[in-house]
Protein backbone atom coordinates (compact mmCIF):
# COMPACT_ATOMS: atom_id res chain seq x y z
CA UNK A 1 0.00 0.00 0.00
CA UNK A 2 1.47 3.40 -0.96
CA UNK A 3 2.04 5.96 1.77
CA UNK A 4 1.61 9.73 1.93
CA UNK A 5 2.37 12.56 4.30
CA UNK A 6 -0.03 15.51 4.29
CA UNK A 7 1.54 18.70 5.67
CA UNK A 8 -0.84 21.56 6.46
CA UNK A 9 -1.33 23.70 9.55
CA UNK A 10 -5.13 23.68 9.11
CA UNK A 11 -6.27 20.47 10.82
CA UNK A 12 -9.63 20.07 9.01
CA UNK A 13 -7.91 20.36 5.63
CA UNK A 14 -5.20 17.89 6.63
CA UNK A 15 -7.68 15.40 8.05
CA UNK A 16 -9.95 15.67 5.01
CA UNK A 17 -7.07 15.02 2.60
CA UNK A 18 -5.92 12.04 4.67
CA UNK A 19 -9.43 10.59 4.59
CA UNK A 20 -9.65 10.98 0.81
CA UNK A 21 -6.22 9.43 0.30
CA UNK A 22 -7.18 6.50 2.55
CA UNK A 23 -10.33 5.98 0.44
CA UNK A 24 -8.05 5.79 -2.61
CA UNK A 25 -5.93 3.07 -0.99
CA UNK A 26 -3.09 5.28 0.20
CA UNK A 27 -2.05 5.11 3.85
CA UNK A 28 -1.89 8.81 4.74
CA UNK A 29 -0.37 10.40 7.82
CA UNK A 30 -1.16 13.96 8.90
CA UNK A 31 1.44 16.55 9.90
CA UNK A 32 -0.14 19.66 11.36
CA UNK A 33 2.59 22.08 10.31
CA UNK A 34 6.26 22.11 9.35
CA UNK A 35 7.72 21.20 12.74
CA UNK A 36 5.47 18.14 13.07
CA UNK A 37 6.34 17.14 9.50
CA UNK A 38 10.07 17.21 10.13
CA UNK A 39 9.68 15.07 13.25
CA UNK A 40 7.56 12.54 11.36
CA UNK A 41 9.99 12.47 8.41
CA UNK A 42 12.80 11.43 10.77
CA UNK A 43 11.06 8.07 11.16
CA UNK A 44 8.80 7.77 8.10
CA UNK A 45 9.65 7.86 4.40
CA UNK A 46 6.42 8.36 2.41
CA UNK A 47 5.92 7.59 -1.25
CA UNK A 48 4.47 11.09 -1.77
CA UNK A 49 4.14 14.34 0.18
CA UNK A 50 1.25 16.78 -0.11
CA UNK A 51 2.43 20.18 1.14
CA UNK A 52 0.61 23.42 1.89
CA UNK A 53 2.45 26.64 1.05
CA UNK A 54 0.84 29.18 3.35
CA UNK A 55 1.74 28.21 6.90
CA UNK A 56 2.80 30.47 9.76
CA UNK A 57 6.49 30.63 10.59
CA UNK A 58 8.17 28.32 8.10
CA UNK A 59 6.25 28.35 4.83
CA UNK A 60 5.87 25.48 2.40
CA UNK A 61 8.54 26.77 0.03
CA UNK A 62 11.10 26.61 2.85
CA UNK A 63 9.97 23.08 3.73
CA UNK A 64 10.20 22.08 0.07
CA UNK A 65 13.73 23.50 -0.23
CA UNK A 66 14.73 21.51 2.86
CA UNK A 67 13.22 18.32 1.45
CA UNK A 68 15.19 18.73 -1.79
CA UNK A 69 18.47 19.23 0.12
CA UNK A 70 18.03 16.11 2.26
CA UNK A 71 19.42 13.07 0.39
CA UNK A 72 16.91 10.64 1.94
CA UNK A 73 13.95 12.85 0.93
CA UNK A 74 15.23 14.47 -2.25
CA UNK A 75 13.44 12.10 -4.62
CA UNK A 76 10.10 11.86 -2.82
CA UNK A 77 7.48 13.48 -5.08
CA UNK A 78 6.00 16.62 -3.55
CA UNK A 79 2.62 18.00 -4.58
CA UNK A 80 1.86 21.54 -3.50
CA UNK A 81 -1.71 22.03 -2.27
CA UNK A 82 -2.58 25.71 -2.05
CA UNK A 83 -5.46 28.15 -2.17
CA UNK A 84 -3.23 30.47 -4.22
CA UNK A 85 -4.03 29.66 -7.84
CA UNK A 86 -1.68 32.25 -9.34
CA UNK A 87 0.64 31.01 -12.12
CA UNK A 88 3.63 32.54 -10.30
CA UNK A 89 2.99 30.29 -7.29
CA UNK A 90 2.92 27.14 -9.42
CA UNK A 91 6.04 28.26 -11.26
CA UNK A 92 7.93 28.94 -8.01
CA UNK A 93 6.80 25.55 -6.68
CA UNK A 94 8.22 23.78 -9.75
CA UNK A 95 11.49 25.74 -9.53
CA UNK A 96 11.79 24.81 -5.87
CA UNK A 97 11.27 21.12 -6.63
CA UNK A 98 7.55 20.34 -6.53
CA UNK A 99 6.22 17.90 -9.08
CA UNK A 100 2.69 19.33 -9.29
CA UNK A 101 0.45 21.99 -7.78
CA UNK A 102 -3.21 21.49 -7.00
CA UNK A 103 -5.65 24.13 -5.77
CA UNK A 104 -7.56 23.82 -2.51
CA UNK A 105 -9.89 22.40 -1.68
CA UNK A 106 -8.47 19.17 -3.01
CA UNK A 107 -11.04 16.85 -4.50
CA UNK A 108 -11.12 13.08 -4.47
CA UNK A 109 -10.94 13.10 -8.28
CA UNK A 110 -7.99 15.50 -8.29
CA UNK A 111 -6.05 13.40 -5.80
CA UNK A 112 -6.87 10.27 -7.79
CA UNK A 113 -5.49 11.89 -10.98
CA UNK A 114 -2.25 12.81 -9.20
CA UNK A 115 -1.85 9.31 -7.77
CA UNK A 116 -2.54 7.70 -11.16
CA UNK A 117 -0.06 10.03 -12.85
CA UNK A 118 2.61 8.95 -10.35
CA UNK A 119 1.54 5.28 -10.68
CA UNK A 120 0.87 5.02 -6.95
CA UNK A 121 -2.62 3.57 -7.53
**Which residues of the chain have a pLDDT value below 50?**
none
b/e sequence 69-86, b meaning 16+ C-beta within 10 Å: eeeeeeebbbbbbbeeee
What is the model's pLDDT at position 85? Answer: 87
Between the CA atoms of 99, 49, 93 and 119, what dihedral angle is there, to the nearest 10 degrees? 10
66: Cβ contacts below 8 Å, ≥ 6 apart: 38
Q: Residue 95, exposed/middle/buried by CB under 10 A (0-12, 13-18, 19+)?
A: exposed
Q: Is the pTM of this model over 0.85?
A: yes
Domain ranges of the chain: 3-106
Question: CA–CA separation, 36 vs 38, rounded Å?
Answer: 6
CATH architecture of the domain with residue range 3-106: 3-Layer(aba) Sandwich (3.40)
Between the CA atoms of 49, 52, 53 and 58, what dihedral angle is there, to the nearest 10 degrees? -80
Amino acid sequence: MPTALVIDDHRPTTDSMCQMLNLLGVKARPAYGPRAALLILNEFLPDIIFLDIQMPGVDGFEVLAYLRREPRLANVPVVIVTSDDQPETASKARRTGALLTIVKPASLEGLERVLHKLKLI
